Amino acid sequence: MESKVPTCTKNFKFVLMILVLAGLVATGVTLSNATADKEKLDVGADVSVKGEIGKSGVEENTTASANVSASSSGSSSSEKSEAESHGNYQSSSELQTQSHENYKMSYEKMNADSKNSFTIETEHHIYKPGDQVSIEGSIWSSLMATVGGISSVSIQVTDNNGNIVYTGKGQVNSDGDYSAQIELPPDAKKGAYTVDVKGDVTADLLSTLSLKTQTSLESSAKFVVVSPNAFAIKAGGKDFSVQVATNSSDVSDIKFDEQGKKLSFTVQGETGTKGVTEVTIPKSLLSGDLTVMIDGQVMAQSDVVETADTNDEVTLELNYHHSTHQIDIVGTNAAPEFGSLVSAVLVFSIVSIIILSMKTRIFNIKRY
């Protein structure tokens, strides 16, 4: 006699098969890369600088105009000097042991010495209009003794066109340290700014000093002012905004890999110039133990500074040598994470089918 499986059992098996297929489809969607919406943003600022940004002793070369664009497709070649690949970065194979739970909130302070008797640096290397710029430096004790002490320094800040935007004084303490704060106006021009600092000595004393000593009584540094650009990222069916401010002439290929928990983009600028990028990432998109990589190499901690960390987002400042590089920011948490839910649905569906199949076999046996 031919055995027949009850109609309800067949229907239940059919529903479970549909659940399995739905789970597989959901898994494929979840594991796919989330990419930035295609858009083009123009900055139009002269921001490319040769030499050390934010530190003493820079060379001016502010002729490159920045055009920042984001694209969800296309690729760019990556180049780096031999010195960078061997000296500044660590290989990607060391990522597991070299990831950084927390980057420093500021750059390492330079102390004046016999080789650099008058230092000047800014707290950050890139700022936005309306930001407060913190300046600090130090004077070598032997230089202080040579001129009979220095109680103050004169500070002047000029924009990319040579216009003076700030003049002021900074008090020098007994250790030779000084500092000052500058408030950028909300409409501050974009580009490279120069900070010039001179030790205050009388004209009579200055005339008695050697040319070398006179030259050592002044120093300069640069910082960049750029307005951030918002890039829309779609991940897990939600929209996120990633803010990028940079002096690189082009930013492209911004995308987010949910499975790899990685935000990636490409920067490009004039070879021989220093690049600096500030990126603000929502923690609802990527968070946890962040590691920054450039062209597949882990960036040195000295080249990455965490300038801000709030409940909602984290801001990183990245320093590199131009020309073209791919930046990857890898985290330990990516949200929304649907992988566990999808896995649970798949496991439940498969186990249910196995149990149902066993019950069906038992039912057929009992029929006989």
Terminal Cα distance for the chain, rounded: 9
- Position 132 scores a pLDDT of 96
Which pLDDT tens digit goes with each residue over 302-337? 999 999 999 999 999 999 999 899 999 999 998 665
- What is the reported pLDDT for 265? 98
pLDDT for 78: 39
- Indicate the pTM of the whole model: 0.70
What confidence score (pLDDT) does residue 106 get?
87
> Average pLDDT over the chain, rounded to whole?
78
> What backbone phi and psi angles, to 5 degrees, belong to 344?
-65, -40
**98 three-class SS:** helix
Task: Considering only residues 112 and 344, tell me which one the structure prediction assigns the higher pLDDT.
Answer: 112
Mean pLDDT within 185-198: 95
Q: For residue 10, report the phi and psi dihedrals to the nearest 5 degrees.
A: -60, -45
The whole-angstrom separation of Cα 228 and Cα 236 is 25
Residue 54 CB burial class (10 angstroms; 0-12, 13-18, ≥19): buried
Task: Let me know: does 276 contact 53? Beta carbons within 8 Å.
Answer: yes
Residue 209 corresponds to which tokens in the numbers above? 């000093």
What pLDDT digit, counting tens, does each position of 30-49 carry?
Answer: 444 455 543 433 433 444 44
Helix (H) or strand (E) holding 204: helix 203-208
pLDDT single digits (tens) 278-292: 999 999 999 999 999
Give the separation between CA 21 and CA 32, rounded to whole angstroms: 17
pLDDT higher for 13 or 53? 53
Measuring CA to CA, how many Å separate 79 from each of 87, 182, 318? 15, 36, 17
Read off the pLDDT band of 91 (50, 70, 90).
very low
Please, which pLDDT band fits residue 83 given cuts at 50, 70 and 90? very low
Q: pLDDT tens digits for 219-274?
A: 999 999 999 999 999 998 899 999 999 999 999 999 999 999 999 999 999 999 99
pLDDT tier at 367, thresholds 50, 70, 90: low
In the prediction, which pLDDT does 99 show?
Answer: 42
3-state secondary structure 329-360: EECCEECCCCHHHHHHHHHHHHHHHHHHHHHH
> So what's the pLDDT on residue 237?
87
156-183 residue pLDDT tens: 999 999 999 999 999 999 999 999 999 9
Residue in this structure with the two tokens 């000593």, named with its chain if needed: 213
Q: Please say if the pLDDT value at position 4 is more than 70.
A: no
Q: pLDDT at residue 71 above 70?
A: no
Closest CA to 16 of 344, 340, 345: 345
Q: Following DSSP, what letter does each residue of 111-146 receive, concatenated?
A: ---SS-SEEEEES-SEE-TTPEEEEEEEE-HHHHHH
| Percent of the residues in the chain that have a pLDDT greater than 90, as a whole number | 60
CA distance 153 to 155: 6
pLDDT value at position 73? 36
Please tell me the distance from the alpha carbon of residue 222 to that of residue 243, in angstroms, as a whole number: 23
Quote the pLDDT of residue 270: 95
CA nearest to 297, candidates 149, 92, 137, 128: 92
344 within 8 A of 26, measured Cβ to Cβ: no
Average pLDDT over residues 183-201: 95
